[in-house]
């Protein structure tokens, strides 16, 4: 199982499953990250937090803890 946190800079991944419950999962869904969406990794801060991504044409920043809850398939 690969998570979004494991994807290298400049790569694209497709969301397979979201983990987490309650407000944590809601925050991810509110960003437009749902099953089947493609996410492009733009930049990762030196210590790994935050992770900057492009989702559906929008540039977003994710916490490392949130990225660990997003199971992906590399494209």
pLDDT, mean over the chain: 91
- The token pair at 38 is 């493609």
> What pLDDT does 48 receive?
72
Domain extents in the chain? 2-74
pTM of the model: 0.87
> What pLDDT does 45 receive?
87
- Residues 6 or more apart whose Cβ sits within 8 Å of residue 38: 12, 13, 14, 15, 55, 75
Please state the three-class secondary structure of 8-23 as a single string: CCCCEEEEEEECCCHH
Q: 């996410």: which residue's tokens?
A: 39
* Domain 2-74 falls under CATH 3.40.50.300: no
Of residues 9 and 48, more confidence is placed in 9
Chain segment 17-62, per-residue pLDDT in tens = 999 888 888 989 999 999 999 999 999 988 778 999 999 999 999 9
């Amino acid at each position: 199982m690969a998570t979004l946190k494991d994807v290298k800079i400049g790569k694209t991944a497709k969301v397979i499953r979201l983990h987490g419950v309650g407000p944590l999962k809601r925050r991810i869904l509110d960003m437009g990250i749902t099953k089947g969406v493609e996410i492009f990794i733009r930049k990762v801060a030196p210590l790994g937090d935050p992770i900057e991504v492009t989702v559906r044409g929008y540039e977003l920043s994710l916490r490392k803890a949130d990225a660990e809850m997003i199971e992906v398939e590399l494209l």
